[in-house]
Chain A
Amino acid sequence: MTESSVNKLLNGDSCRRTSNGLKTSKNGFVKNHCLLQQPHKYRRPRDKNPNVPHNPSLYKKPFVESFEETPLMVAVLTYMGYGILTIFGYLRDFLRQWNIEKRHIARERDEQKDFVPLYQDFENFYNRNLYIRIRDNWNRPVCSVPGPKMDLIERSTPNYNWTFEYTGRVLKDVLNLGSYNYLGFAENKGPCADAAIEATQAYGVGVGSTRCEMGNLDIHEELEQLVARFLGVESSMAFGMGFATNSMNIPALTGKGCLILSDELNHASLVLGARLSSSTIRVFKHNNMQSLEKLLRDAIVHGQPRTHRPWKKILIVVEGIYSMEGSIVRLPEIIALKKHYKAYLYLDEAHSIGALGPNGKGVVDYFGLDPKDVDIMMGTFTKSFGAAGGYIGGKKELIDYLRCHSHSAVYATSMSPPVAQQIITSMKIIMGEDGTTLGADRLRQLHENTTYFRRKLHDMGLIIYGNEDSPVIPMMLYMPAKIGAFGRQMLKKNIGIVGVGFPATPIIESRARFCVSAAHTREMLNTALDAINEVGDLLQLKYSRRERPLPSLGWMSDESLLKD
């Protein structure tokens, strides 16, 4: 089967799970020579116990990440669900073929009926028979600021989601747990919006040229200097689109004869960038340092396949926060590995910049490390800064090289000035350069909200994935039908959530994802928790078999808050 649209079905961010991960090798790998102390076998990522850091000495504070194992019964039921869906899918495809059931899908025009079909029929099987049935949970049109509360345009469907009609009504003040608005800078009022308005008046919205030709505005230069200062690196460069920052710059950095070691859950843009670079790509298990170290050792010892020439360079590509798992990269261990094996490190902070660390400077700040140890600091402005685009930061030589060789610098239109201004202002607020403590307050608020929300969900008996400090909170639903049910039930309670299923997640691990924001008040979070609790009971989502804390007095008082 060709790479199908199914691959992107139930669209999500990170969309890659490779099954060709390494097998637990029988003869093990070197025990004495490896840098990190390791257990005899790979630790399965979905281990029952919370992941204990393999090398605690590298961490300054406890690193707690949990991925509770899927209950067997649930797994069986989920597979059964897919089985039934598939059978019905075939049945309905059969009915559609004989025109017993009406076909809603757009069809090829008659003049081109004898061309080779544009799509393989099988490609769209899941699209037709699964995704369509629950697709009202995605692409919900927003008609306000995507802040802590948003307005949604009401849609109705006369034909089970094949087409949508707008009823003309607006769902007011839907609680927003879906947008990546970590620091709450998605605002239409306040200093950022004011500055962006001024920039629009001064510059207009477009640029109409590339950075290399005539599109290098003073505002871009200002932004880049600020980003470099924010990250604590020598120099930086900003690009107009986050996705393109990855896919257009990795090819400038590596090429033939280079090796890219990529986490199995890396975002599609990193995967695309790696692929476009024509380097060799090897995938290590998610956040698994033994897997990475084995790949590194093997790569250096054996060199390139067939020719056995040594690799020109090795680039480790990881993300700060993995948006589907809520896990945080084990950066201290990776830096230790990269130093020992002389590899380079590409860190994508799309979700972590602004959202992690005491100063909001991402994972490096979170672990208290030196930004100079990361060779390529990449991140996006879409999330915490409420803007658009991406950046790369690092040594001056690196950035100078990118200025001449990045695909984006030479061929793509530069960033829109008001967008650049939004980033400048929000970044200055985070850094406290506006002379207020607003930024610090937001960072503290985000951290508090994250901890509170995660703890409450956990206490309810829901299975929550990821690191306890990650503002991305995946909640396991497992069954694909529950994505639809949960999304709809929550919307009924005026709460907007994101559901994610295969292929963005493993087939049985469909989940809902909450993104906590600094703009959420305790009250809003309690409303949401209340609703999740109710819907969780209704849909029997409380799968967790871990011991729950007894309802102590403190918990009770919180509980009474919940009822308010």
Chain B
Amino acid sequence: YTIIIYLSYPIYLSIMRGVLSSIMASGQQWVLVEMVQAFYEAPAYHLILEGILILWIIRLLFSKTYKLHETYKLTENEKEDLIEEWQPEPLVPTLSKDHPSLSYDIVTGSPSHKIIINGKECINFASFNFLGLLDNERVKQKALSSLKKYGVGTCGPRGFYGTFDVHLELESRLANFMQTEEAIIYSYGFATIASAIPAYSKRGDIIFVDEAACFSIQKGLQASRSFIKYFKHNDMKDLERLLKEQDLEDQKNPRKARVTRKFIVVEGLFINTADICPLPELVKLKYKYKVRIFLEESMSFGVLGEHGRGVTEHFGVNIDDIDLISANMENAVATVGGFCCGRSFVIDHQRLSGQGYCFSASLPPMLAAAAIEALNIMEEDPGNRSFFNDCLNVALCLCDRIPGLRLEGEPFAPALHLQLEKSSGSREADMKLLRSIIDYCLNRNVALTLARYLEKEERFLPTPSIRVVVTVQQTEEEIQKAVSCIVEAASVLLQ
């Protein structure tokens, strides 16, 4: 560059001189004339050299900027080598042969009150068949007559000829049952809350969630891409602290706060802990901090409250104060699918925005028909009081009587957790120990199950536990038998 500039210096000078002088002394034609004369007098090699230099400068000025990384550009052969070299990880990691989930227990026939597991008939303390409707003859008959009318599948999503009169009837029946304005059904329980949350909460919104929230809520949160703030399980002080923090934040930036939606997502009865959420306090916080509440009631629907309407009825909370209630129909209702209910203003939005609703085939009509009949039975005989007592009974029996095991959850919850009082230190060993208790009971015709979790995927992994499910069909003797069986197993295996 220096050389170039040095060489081209004379011509710069002459040009500059020319320009300057022509500006400074307009009319003084002699300067230009002098320049032209100098041009003629200059030796030819000089002119050629300067001409080349000018071209060179122009090229430099107009050529692309110099890019550092271009020098590192790979050649095609290098790329080929890289492609050749690259070795992906295997599609799935290899599992150890004795992974506990590899050999599922096989159930033969109906998984109802009496269940045949691996060829052995047991009393079922494992399926979420709370109201015993799974093998109810009326439900079966209704399902059959629907099957004879509509066939099995719907062959389409709700929008495209997948809406059947049965679906409409079930939706209005559910809305009636829950005493809300509207209900919407999904064809799969897991997809219900997982689709409902992202239908409302978007990027930039804030969701306050209980740490013990179940996996489908966690997936819904993830799909919503909102800010997630976890509060300690059932700890209203912790929740209020978070809400206050957010309130301060909002005051700092009111413009943003005006468009940031806020939600609290909780379960009615937590499936992972068998605890009940403190709904009245939540409602107070809702109005204090202007946050909407979404309530997942899969465990409590059909179980809690005088008519089985769930936690709202249990606490006597006005159901309109809850913005959205979601539950699956796979537990108490003993069919397949899920539903959301609430005010039309809220629920109707899902008909275009609930992914699991819009883009999935609708619920087979026979399963919807079964749900309608189950609702009929629940309405005719709200036997929930006695069921409630059953649960209490089981809980009382289990409480404090089993050496080495601890009962977790509300005494009236239908699905309780038995945890080890003293962990052996490793999760795997704990699971094995609990599994041995279950096997002991299985051999004595009592079917229990481990509560299964995806250990790496759970946000807060629950403690290993045996799940004990209470149903209305279990008699006093059967419960006594089960309890004594567990006590026996625990005293044999945990000493």
Contacts and interface: CB of A to CB of B under 8 A. Distances in A.
A178 B159 CA distance: 10
Contact of A208 (B79, B165, B188, B334): B334
B259 interface: yes
A205 B143 contact: yes
B203 interface: yes
A201 B109 CA distance: 10
A564 interface: no
A109 B143 contact: no
Interface in A117-152: 117-120, 127, 131, 138-147, 150
Given A206-B335, A211-B104, A412-B188, A401 B93 contact: yes
A139 B151 contact: no
B449 interface: yes
Contacts of B83: 297, 300-301, 340-341
A383 interface: yes
A275 interface: yes
Contacts of B110: 202-204
Contacts of A383: 155
B302 interface: no
A200 B144 CA distance: 7
A418 B152 contact: yes
Contacts of A217: 106-109, 111
| B76, B191, B333 — most chain A CB neighbours (10 Å) | B191
The 10 closest A-B pairs by CB, nearest first: A241-B188, A243-B360, A401-B92, A208-B127, A382-B361, A404-B101, A216-B104, A412-B190, A179-B155, A214-B126
Among A33, A267, A411, chain B packs the most CB atoms within 10 A around the CB of A411
A118 B345 contact: yes
Contacts of A187: 151
Interface string B134-153: 11100110011001111111
A413 B88 contact: no
A178 B334 contact: no
Interface in B155-182: 155-165, 167-168, 181
B107 A205 contact: no
A214 B105 contact: yes
Given A272-B223, A276-B222, A297-B83, A204 B112 contact: yes
Interface in B291-348: 291-292, 320, 323, 328, 330-331, 333-336, 343-346, 348
Contacts of A140: 161, 163
Contacts, number: 394
A150 B457 CA distance: 45
A112 B291 CA distance: 9
A415 to B, nearest CB: 8
B63 interface: no
Interface string B249-283: 00000000111111000000000000000000000
B111 A207 contact: yes
A111 B292 CA distance: 12
B95 A416 contact: no
Contacts of B467: 213
A185 to B, nearest CB: 8
Given A200-B140, A240-B188, A412-B190, 7 more contacts: A106-B181, A112-B290, A116-B261, A197-B144, A212-B104, A267-B359, A398-B92
A265 interface: no
Contact of A139 (B158, B349, B353): B158
Contact of A116 (B99, B202, B260): B260
Please classify how large the interface on chain A is, using the bins under 10, 10 to 19, 20 to 34, 35 or more: 35 or more
Given A118-B200, A192-B152, A204-B110, A13 B359 contact: yes
Contacts of A496: 161
Contact of A207 (B86, B127, B203): B127
Interface of A: 2-3, 5, 7-9, 11-13, 15, 30, 32-33, 106-109, 111-112, 114-120, 127, 131, 138-147, 150, 153, 176, 178-181, 185-188, 192-193, 196-197, 200-218, 221, 240-244, 247-248, 251, 253, 267-269, 272, 275-276, 297, 300-301, 310-314, 340-344, 375-376, 380-383, 385-388, 397-398, 400-405, 407-413, 415-416, 418-419, 422, 496, 498
Interface in B38-71: none
Given A404-B99, A410-B453, A268 B355 contact: yes
Given A213-B126, A300-B86, A301-B83, A201 B330 contact: no
Contact of B449 (A201, A209, A311): A209
11 contacts: A13-B359, A109-B320, A188-B147, A206-B335, A212-B104, A221-B106, A297-B79, A388-B187, A397-B92, A408-B190, A410-B453
Nearest to A209: B127
B361 A388 contact: yes
A413 B189 contact: yes
B464 interface: no
Question: Of A150, A388, A403, A498, which is in contact with the most chain B CB atoms at under 10 Å from its CB?
Answer: A388
Contacts of B154: 146, 179, 186, 382, 388
B370 A181 contact: no
Contacts of B191: 241, 243-244, 247
B190 A498 contact: no
Given A108-B345, A179-B161, A244-B188, A403 B104 contact: yes
B477 interface: no
A210 B106 CA distance: 12
Contacts of B291: 115
B104 A141 contact: no
A141 B163 contact: yes
A197 to B, nearest CB: 6
A550 to B, nearest CB: 37
B21 interface: no
B160 A179 contact: yes
A400 B223 contact: no
A379 to B, nearest CB: 13
A398 B187 contact: no
Contact of A218 (B99, B107, B188, B345): B107
B87 interface: yes
B473 interface: no
Contacts of A382: 153-156, 361
Nearest to A215: B111
B216 interface: yes
A408 B264 CA distance: 25
Contacts of B153: 146, 185-186, 381-382, 385-388, 419, 422
